[in-house]
Chains A and B, each alone.
Chain A
Amino acid sequence: MKKTIVVSALALLIVAGCAYVPINPPLTHPSDLKTGYRWATTTIPKRTSNTLVILTFSGGGTRAAGLSYGVLKQLDATPMPDQRKLLDYVDVISSVSGGSFASMDYGMRGRQMLADFESKFLQVPVQKMLIHEAFFNPKNVLKLLFDPNFHRIDVATQVYADVLFGTATYDTLLQQQRANDRPFIIANATELEIGSRFEWTQDQFDPICSDMSPIAVAHAVAASSDFPVALPPVILKKYDASTCKYQTPSWLPIARENDAYNNPLRPRYATELEAYLDPQRTFLHTLDGGIADNIGLRGPLHALVSTDAFVQPQDEGRLTGMTFMPMISHAPGIRAIDRVLVIVVNAGASGGVKIDNTSREPKLPVVLGGVIGAPMDNYSFDSQQLLIQTFVPRIRTGVRYYPVMISFPMLRDKNLRDIVNNVGTSFDALTNEQLSGLKQAADVLVHQDPCFQQFIRDVNAQPTPPGSPICSSAPPLP
Chain B
Amino acid sequence: MDQWILVTFPEVRDVLVDDTVCGTTNKVMMVQLGTHKITLGGAQNYVSPPMPVTVYNTTQQKPMVLVFTLA
Residues of A within 8 A of B (CB-CB), count: 35
Q: Is the CB of B18 within 8 A of A308?
A: yes
Q: B19 CB to closest chain A CB, in angstroms?
A: 5
Residues of B within 8 A of A (CB-CB), count: 27
Q: Is the CB of B2 within 8 A of A305?
A: yes
Q: B43 CB to closest chain A CB, in angstroms?
A: 12
Compute how far the CA of A262 lies from the CA of B56 in the bound complex, rounded to whole angstroms: 8
Compute how far the CA of A396 lies from the CA of B54 in the bound complex, rounded to whole angstroms: 24
Task: Tell whether B67 is near chain A: CB-to-CB under 8 Å.
Answer: no
Which of B17, B24, B56 contacts A307 (CB under 8 A)?
B17
Compute how far the CA of A251 lies from the CA of B35 in the bound complex, rounded to whole angstroms: 9
Q: Is the CB of A329 within 8 A of B30?
A: yes
Compute how far the CA of A397 lies from the CA of B23 in the bound complex, rounded to whole angstroms: 14
Residues of B13-71 contacting chain A, CB below 8 A: 14-24, 29-37, 41, 52, 54, 56, 60
Q: Which residues of A contact B60 (CB under 8 A)?
A: 396-397
Q: Which residues of B contact A266 (CB under 8 A)?
A: 32, 34
Q: Which residues of A contact B37 (CB under 8 A)?
A: 250-251, 254
Compute how far the CA of A330 lies from the CA of B21 in the bound complex, rounded to whole angstroms: 10
Q: Is the CB of B21 within 8 A of A317?
A: yes
Interface of B is mostly: strand
Residues of A205-232 contacting chain B, CB below 8 A: none
Given contacts A254-B35, A258-B54, contact A312 B30 (CB under 8 A): no
Q: Which residues of A contact B31 (CB under 8 A)?
A: 307, 325
Compute how far the CA of A325 lies from the CA of B34 in the bound complex, rounded to whole angstroms: 15
Given contacts A254-B36, A326-B20, A331-B23, contact A317 B30 (CB under 8 A): no
Q: Which residues of B contact A257 (CB under 8 A)?
A: 35
Q: Is the CB of A317 within 8 A of B19?
A: yes
Q: Is the CB of B17 within 8 A of A263?
A: no
Which of B15, B16, B21, B34 contacts A333 (CB under 8 A)?
B21
Q: Which residues of A contact B36 (CB under 8 A)?
A: 251, 254
Q: A45 CB to closest chain B CB, in angstroms?
A: 11
Q: Is the CB of B22 within 8 A of A331?
A: yes
Q: Is the CB of A305 within 8 A of B32?
A: yes
Task: Tell whether A373 is near chain B: CB-to-CB under 8 Å.
Answer: no
Which of B21, B23, B30, B33 contacts A263 (CB under 8 A)?
B33
Q: Is the CB of A258 within 8 A of B30?
A: no
Residues of A327-360 contacting chain B, CB below 8 A: 328-334
Q: Is the CB of A332 within 8 A of B56?
A: no
Which of A254, A307, A313 contacts B52 (CB under 8 A)?
A254
Given contacts A250-B37, A258-B54, A396-B60, contact A313 B19 (CB under 8 A): yes
Q: Which residues of B contact A325 (CB under 8 A)?
A: 20, 22, 30-32
Chain A 245-288 interface 0/1 with B at a Cβ cutoff of 8 Å (1 = within)? 00001110011011100110010000000000000000000000
Compute how far the CA of A337 lies from the CA of B20 in the bound complex, rounded to whole angstroms: 17
Compute how far the CA of A250 lies from the CA of B2 in the bound complex, rounded to whole angstroms: 20
Q: Is the CB of B22 within 8 A of A258?
A: no
Closest to A252 in B: B18
Q: Residues of A at under 8 Å CB distance from B?
A: 249-251, 254-255, 257-259, 262-263, 266, 305-308, 312-313, 316-318, 320, 323, 325-326, 328-334, 393-394, 396-397
Besides the known contacts A325-B32, A332-B14, 17 further A-B residue pairs in the complex with CB atoms under 8 A apart: A250-B19, A251-B18, A255-B34, A255-B35, A257-B35, A262-B34, A263-B32, A266-B32, A305-B2, A307-B17, A316-B14, A317-B19, A325-B22, A326-B23, A331-B23, A334-B21, A396-B60
| 18 A–B contacts, CB within 8 A, in A order | A250-B19, A259-B35, A266-B32, A305-B2, A306-B32, A307-B17, A307-B32, A308-B32, A313-B21, A316-B16, A325-B31, A326-B22, A328-B30, A329-B22, A330-B23, A331-B22, A332-B23, A396-B60
